[in-house]
Amino acid sequence: MRFERLWRNASLATLAPQRPGVGWVQPGAIGVAGGRIAFAGAEAELPVGADAGEVLDLEGRLVTPGLIDCHTHLVFGGERSGEFEMRMAGADYQSIARAGGGILSTVRATRAATDEELAASAGERLRVLMAEGVTTVEIKSGYGLDLLTELRMLRVARALGRQHPVEVATTLLAAHAVPPDRDRASYLDLVIRKLIPQAAREGLADAVDGYCEGIAFTPVEIRAVLAAARCAGLPVKLHADQLSDGGGAALAAEFQALSADHLEWTNIEGVAALARSGTVAVLLPGAFYCLREHQQPPVAELRRRGVRMALATDCNPGTSPLLSILTALNLAAVQFGLTIEECLAGVTREAAHALGRAREIGTLEAGKRADLAIWDVERPAELVYWIGRNPLHKRIWRGE
């Protein structure tokens, strides 16, 4: 066996499903060839006579799969610190939104921004995420709310993936809010008849998402959007039950969604539906924290039913201006009671499932893309425990 590069003397958290816990292997080795993992396992099991172009001694450092941020809104114009100030002074998120602030203020700023400006600000945010070991990031549209700007956001997101050593998954979130300049019915018509088919035809979106919420779209409206996505051959995701129980989880499950995200208000029937459809529950502790929510997602029930749980930053200018996936791990442990293993799996293996890419990424197993994060820590728990420390030693994308 010939490796282009071989890392030895590593502590591996492989997250491989056939290994228990975090898939711990120590001392471990990883060999890569052609941008893929050719070997990931115990040093003692390295094939006899294997040789490598380059051998690196990791001196016991922890290696995890490259981290996957499976829910972000990285592309947007402007920022919303003014709204944050208002909320800290007592205003609530939903009344700001109803008064034309919130998402709509970002829509105005996004429409006014050039492609170059959008790419520059999102690129800066992307590089911050990458500096903490992120090798795959999902990016949603949803701040254009017209044909031109929604497609523009997706193109900018795609271009970011070409310009950086990172994998970008794009999601069309045109059903994010009713635009200021159209009525609900005509906007939904545009989304269903034009936007979704065109985004699919041009290969701009890997999935379709919707905001099923009192301040956004009703389950009936979202059902039509998800049906249009299905017609266009695109998988779906859903912002579900964040601020109220709107039956979002069950709706996502009905469409075999890749993921249902937020889920603070999801009831036990909703969890059962997710379990039946194999939909991943994506928990977003940054939004929970910033909105000072009290309603906890039904973690115990998700666990009991064996629903996969992923975690993400939900980086967006309103409810989660969070650019640290490691902080999201800490928030999920402290606020939601996730275990260290669940936290790590949530930004690797389970996040890969939430993007429909589990065959390619998310674990350290032979055959998968060689996306790795090498850390200056001894124990996986340290990745969750610190707040504001970035112990990344090296980020490897496609073996480099």
Residues found near Fe ion in the complex (CB under 5 A): 314
| 319 forms part of the interface with ligand DI6 (CB under 6 A) | yes
Of the candidates 299, 298, 305, the residue with the CA atom closest to the CA atom of residue 275 = 305
> Is residue 318 a contact point for ligand DI6 (CB under 6 A)?
yes
Does 363 interact with ligand DI6 (rule: CB under 6 A)?
A: no
Which of 316, 327, 330, 348 is close enough to bind ligand DI6 by CB under 6 A?
316
Question: Strand pairing partners for 10?
Answer: 28
Spatial contact of 42 and 27, defined as CB atoms under 8 Å apart:
yes
Burial class (CB in 10 A: 0-12, 13-18, 19+), 167: buried
| Stretch 271-300 residues interacting with ligand DI6 (CB under 6 A) | 284, 287
Dihedral (CA of 359, 355, 251, 205) sign: negative
Q: Which residue is nearest to ligand DI6 (CB)?
A: 318
Minimum distance from residue 369 beta carbon to Fe ion (Å): 26
- Near ligand DI6 in 50-109, by CB under 6 A: 73, 102-103, 106
Q: How far apart are CA 300 and CA 318, in angstroms?
A: 28
Give me the helices (H) in the chain, please: 81-88, 93-98, 103-112, 115-130, 147-163, 184-190, 196-201, 219-231, 248-254, 268-277, 285-290, 299-304, 325-336, 340-346, 349-354, 381-385
Q: How far is the CB of 314 from Fe ion (least distance, A)?
A: 4
Q: Which CB sits closer to ligand DI6, 61 or 73?
A: 73
Looking at beta carbons, which residue is closest to Fe ion?
314
Considering the complex, what minimum distance in angstroms separates the CB of residue 246 from ligand DI6?
Answer: 14
Write down the least CB distance from residue 379 to ligand DI6, Å. Answer: 31
Q: Which residues bind ligand DI6 (CB under 6 A)?
A: 73, 102-103, 106, 176, 211, 239, 284, 287, 314, 316-320
